[in-house]
């Protein structure tokens, strides 16, 4: 190692910080002890470095920086809290809204009663509460039958009292994932004629575990509708009647079914 190489190494040596017995520094320091010129240079260099270090550490810190950092932290914390709080409020509001919608529309299929009574309740709500837009609107019962037949739901039989009424329209619904035909009729006792007061729902009887619960000798009031259920040729029927005229027809249907 010559003097120039030793200077390069000793330039990095910080007395009191770096270990003098570090092999890299030890050899250069030993040479500085033997070489007066190098030793003098090292002494000057170390003194200059010490002053320079002090100059760096003299860098003044602006007044209030610490307080500003702490207050920024509080602002961020508050902002974070506010954001989280706002998010939580929005999430709760959304959850309540969805719950309300699902409850109103009864869109909890897995929690719904899968028996005949559940089917009946749901269909009444559909007829009275929602009354969805019909897939076909017509008074012609043949057209309604053909329309449903084209969609694979034409294998239903209208009891004769119903066959004498006028149709208003039809729609294919789903209940628990199963198709349900909805035929809407007007008994003739309400105006206008396009407004239904009889609602017939038809689906396969094996879509409920208790099709025998559809007892034609029993009319059950559900909400504003009088309901009559029966099963025939593998189909489950539910007839809802609204108002006196419709109920008279419903009674006729029940009477006919008793004769079967």
Partner 1 sequence: MSLNFESLVAEYYRPLYQFAFSLTQVEAEACDLTQQTFYIWATKGHQLRDETKVKSWLFTTLHREFLETRRRQTRFPQYELSQVEAELPTLSPARVNQLDSPQVLQSLAQVDQVYQAPVALFYLEDYSYKEIAEILDVPMGTVKSRIARGIAQLHKLLAPPSPTGQPSKDSRG
Contact between 89 and partner 1 (CB under 8 A)? no
Near partner 1 by CB under 8 A: residue from 34, 36, 61, 191: 61
Q: How far is the CB of 132 from partner 1 (least distance, A)?
A: 51
Q: How far is the CB of 86 from partner 1 (least distance, A)?
A: 19
The contacts of residue 159 (CB under 8 Å, 6+ apart) are 252, 253, 256, 257
When the beta carbons of 16 and 192 are compared against partner 1, the nearer one is: 16
> Are the beta carbons of 31 and 3 closer than 8 angstroms?
yes
When the beta carbons of 14 and 151 are compared against partner 1, the nearer one is: 14
Question: Which residue is associated with the tokens 């008793």?
Answer: 258
Give Cα 126 to chain centroid, integer Å. Answer: 23
Near partner 1 by CB under 8 A: residue from 21, 34, 59, 191: 59
| Largest distance between two CA atoms of the chain | 132
Near partner 1 by CB under 8 A: residue from 23, 62, 177, 209: 62
Q: Spell out, one character per residue from 12 to 51, where the chain touches partner 1: x when CB under 8 A holds, - when not.
A: x-x--xx----------------------x--xx-xxxxx
What is the DSSP track for 39-82?
HHHHHHHHHHHHHHHHHHHTPPPPTTHHHHHHHHHHHHHHHHHH
């Amino acid at each position: 190692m010559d003097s120039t190489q030793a200077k390069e190494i000793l330039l990095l040596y910080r007395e009191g910080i770096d270990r003098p017995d570090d092999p890299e520094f030890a050899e250069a320091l030993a040479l500085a002890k033997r070489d007066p010129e190098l030793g003098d240079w090292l002494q000057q260099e170390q003194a200059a470095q010490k002053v320079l270090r002090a100059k760096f550490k003299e860098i003044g810190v602006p007044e209030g920086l610490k307080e500003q950092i702490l207050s920024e932290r509080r602002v961020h914390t508050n902002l974070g809290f506010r954001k989280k709080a706002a998010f939580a409020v929005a999430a709760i509001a959304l959850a309540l809204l969805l719950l309300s919608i699902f409850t109103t529309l009864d869109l909890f299929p897995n929690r719904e009663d899968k028996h005949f009574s559940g089917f009946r309740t749901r269909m009444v709500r559909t007829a009275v509460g929602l009354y969805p837009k019909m897939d076909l609107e017509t008074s012609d019962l043949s057209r309604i039958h053909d329309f449903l037949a084209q969609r694979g739901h034409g294998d239903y039989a209208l009891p004769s009292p119903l066959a004498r009424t006028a149709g208003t329209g039809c729609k294919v619904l789903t209940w628990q994932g199963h198709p349900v035909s909805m035929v809407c009729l007007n008994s003739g006792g309400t105006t206008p004629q396009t407004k239904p007061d009889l609602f017939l729902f038809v689906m396969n009887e094996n879509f409920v575990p208790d099709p025998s619960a559809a007892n034609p000798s029993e009319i059950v009031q559900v909400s504003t509708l009088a309901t009559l259920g029966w099963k025939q040729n593998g189909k489950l029927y539910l007839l809802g009647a609204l108002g006196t005229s419709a109920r008279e027809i419903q009674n006729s249907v029940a009477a006919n079914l008793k004769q079967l």
